[in-house]
Amino acid sequence: MTWDPSQYLRYDNERSQPTRDLIAALTNFHPRTIVDLGCGTGNSSALLQQRWPTAALTGVDHSPEMLEQASMSGLAATWQQADLANWQPDEPADLIFSNAALHWLDDHERLFPRLISHLTWGGILAAQMPNNFTQPSHTLIAEIASEPRWKQRLGEVIRPSPVAPVERYLELLEPLTTDIRVWTTTYFHVLRGEHPVAEWTGGATLRPVISALGDDADNFINEYRNRLAVAYPPRPDASTVLPFTRMFILARR
């Protein structure tokens, strides 16, 4: 799967708000080493460095396109390309921060305990994951992909979200941590422009479909846009409201 940094950054302010909220929840905490896991274009890395300017910051991502964009940010950070599913640090980190990345990985039953094990004692795993997979922005992709025209080409691409209910993360992580908080927040994004919800998902959720279909992706996206227009009708001022729920986890080792 390839990423398009410019597409992802189209709604930069809205995508960065959960990062700001998660950082704000980290009160009375002074990490010396920070790993931004799934750093993407470095937007979350910049906010982390702004909050803790003296901490050693490492940004990790699987996408060379995203890391190239991050490397041009001018941040005093180390950039590392790695498969997030198998990543491990050279030394335990005080803070492992992950914004909108871990939902791309399977087997959270093993993933999250492994990330906790990579923390220093007293270190924190701070993660945010989209939890919007039952809404039309996501279900319409799977619905179209299951139709005969697309099923053979997209059958292996469309995957159910591995994000479990909130209660499961509590059950999984409570025995491994000294303190844990899990919550959800629904953001109501007011988006403008033509086909704004498709432009939003085109920065992330649609990327596997676009990569798999290549030149034929436009036909899929046109059908998706038509159905989105019914699910998310524009308001009289031509803006569109996209409700988007996200899950937050703060777990201290």
- The overall pTM is greater than 0.95: no
Would you state the pLDDT for residue 10? 63
152 contacts: CB under 8 Å, gap ≥ 6: none
Q: How many domains does the chain have?
A: 1
Q: What is the pLDDT of residue 18?
A: 94
- Strand pairing class (56-61; 77-81): parallel
Residue 90: C-alpha distances to residues 60, 71, 102 (Å): 13, 21, 20
Residue 152 has a pLDDT of: 87
Three-class HEC string of the chain: CCCCHHHHHHHHHHHHHHHHHHHHCCCCCCCCEEEEECCCCCHHHHHHHHHCCCCEEEEEECCHHHHHHHHCCCCCEEEEECCCCCCCCCCCEEEEEEECCHHHCCCHHHHHHHHHHCEEEEEEEEEEEECCCCCHHHHHHHHHHCCHHHHHHHCCCCCCCCCCCHHHHHHHHHHHCCEEEEEEEEEEEEECCCCHHHHHHCCCCCHHHHHHHHHHHHHHHHHHHHHHHHHCCCCCCCCEEEEEEEEEEEEEC
- State the residue range of the domain holding 66: 5-252
Q: Over its length of 253 residues, how does the chain's per-residue pLDDT go in tens digits?
A: 454 555 545 677 788 899 999 999 999 999 999 999 999 889 899 999 999 999 999 999 998 888 998 888 889 899 999 999 999 999 999 999 999 999 989 999 999 999 999 999 999 999 999 999 999 999 999 999 999 999 888 888 888 888 999 999 999 999 999 999 999 999 999 998 889 999 888 877 888 888 888 888 889 899 999 999 999 999 999 999 999 999 999 999 9
pLDDT at 2: 52
CA angle 12–125–62, rounded 5-degree value: 55
**For the domain that residue 205 is a member of, what is the CATH number?**
3.40.50.150
How far apart, in whole angstroms, are the C-alpha atoms of residue 125 and residue 4? 27
The amino acid at 197: V
Cα separations (Å) of 185 from 19, 24, 206, 238? 12, 14, 22, 25
